[in-house]
Amino acid sequence: MKSYLEISISSSEAQRELLIPTMMELGCEGFQETDTSLLCYLEKSKWDASKHETLKAEMKKLLRTISSNADIQFREFADENWNEQWERTIQPIEIGERLVIKPSWCTYDNSQKRIIIEIDPKMSFGTGYHETTRLTLCLLEKYVAPGMTLLDVGTGTGILAIASVKLGAAHSDGIDIDEWSIDNATENVLRNHVQDNVVISSTPIHDLPSKSYDLITANLTLNTNIEFLWEFGRLLRMNGALLLSGLLLQDRVQMIQGLNDSKFKLVEEQRENEWIALAAKLVQ
């Protein structure tokens, strides 16, 4: 019988955004969120027994760097379907005026005739359950126009690329450097029957042709968004819009300064809790 290790880390929702990628790099294969903690799971047999204690110490050291007040607990348990338990916690969520995000294993009474997007997150990011995704989806409802083309940078589950087409875009490209994300996004594209209009790839952003898109979404981080501003400007067509998220309220001033320096004009911003999303256009 397989044995698993559960690592419980007390953390806020904002801290979990930082913790999950780190824990994935350390081999964790499943996650569950409670009101106060992030639960991470991995198969114990994948750890070398001689390094077990050393790895735990290294994980504690790394995690405390990310979340200095974290209380970290370890629990070993026998084989059980923790992924099934996690799936039970994911329910449909209505976003904005027109969208609803649901996993494939849930039903939804669509009495309001919303646009249904089915997303099974697996190991990728972008389920609709985090503020940054919800904020970007709300902006998409406003900025997607029929027939336009969209680029989603760091597509994760593919949720923004899929949503844009369901909202009326003619074509959407979703790019990511993470193999898990490429596989997961591709599955979600097929699940939503938009494979004729959405292309998921690992194409580097600098290899994309100039002036190709009417709209760009980037739910990334402050530093990555700033790093890519020149590319965003190169890729956008005349009057194109840029939707940025993955930003904390404390990032606002620096991000807006970066936009101004790159000849973008802020036209709208939205906020939920400590997270913000910005809409900007190139200044001609």
Mode of pairing for the β-strands spanning 149-153 and 213-219: parallel
pLDDT at 85: 57
Of 24, 53, 87, the domain-final residue: 87
Q: Is residue 48 part of a domain?
A: yes
Assigned token pair, 236: 């956008």
CA distances from 37 to 6, 50, 92, 201, 221 (A): 12, 28, 22, 33, 22
Same domain, 48 and 140: no
CA dihedral 179, 180, 182, 186 (to 10 degrees): 150
Tell me what pLDDT residue 259 has. 97
CATH number of the structural domain spanning residue 82? 3.30.70.600
Domain count, the chain: 2
pTM of the model: 0.74
Structure tokens at 87: 């799936």
Beta partners for residue 10, in sequence order: 37
* Domain presence at residue 125: no
Distance CA 230, CA 235 (A): 9
pLDDT score recorded for residue 124 = 44
Radius of gyration over every alpha carbon of the chain, rounded to an integer in angstroms: 20
59 and 146 housed in the same domain: no
Quick check: is 93 in a domain?
no
Q: What is the pLDDT of residue 192?
A: 97
Question: Within this chain, do residues 195 and 135 fall inside the same structural domain, yes or no?
Answer: yes
Query: In tens digits, what is the pLDDT along the chain, a chain of 284 residues?
Result: 677 778 888 887 777 777 787 777 777 777 777 778 888 887 777 666 655 666 566 666 666 666 666 778 888 876 655 556 556 667 889 999 999 999 888 889 999 999 999 988 664 455 666 888 999 999 999 999 999 999 999 998 899 999 999 999 999 999 998 887 899 899 999 999 999 999 999 999 999 999 999 999 999 989 999 999 999 999 999 889 999 998 989 999 999 999 999 999 999 999 998 899 999 998 86
Contact 7, 40 (CB under 8 A): yes
At residue 256, the pLDDT reads 97
Position 229 in a domain: yes
Q: 3-state DSSP call for residue 97?
A: coil
Establish if 32 belongs to a structural domain: yes
Rounded to an integer, what distance in angstroms lies between the CA atom of residue 17 and that of residue 11?
10
Question: In this structure, what token pair is assigned to residue 195?
Answer: 């494979």
Which residues are 32's β-sheet partners? 39
Q: Express each pLDDT in 21-49 by its tens digit.
A: 777 777 777 777 777 888 888 777 766 66
Q: Are residues 188 and 60 in the same domain?
A: no
If you search the block for the tokens 């204690």, which residue do you land on? 53
Tell me the C-alpha distance between 173 and 181, whole Å.
Answer: 14
CA distance 65 to 59: 10
Q: Which domain holds residue 255?
A: 131-282
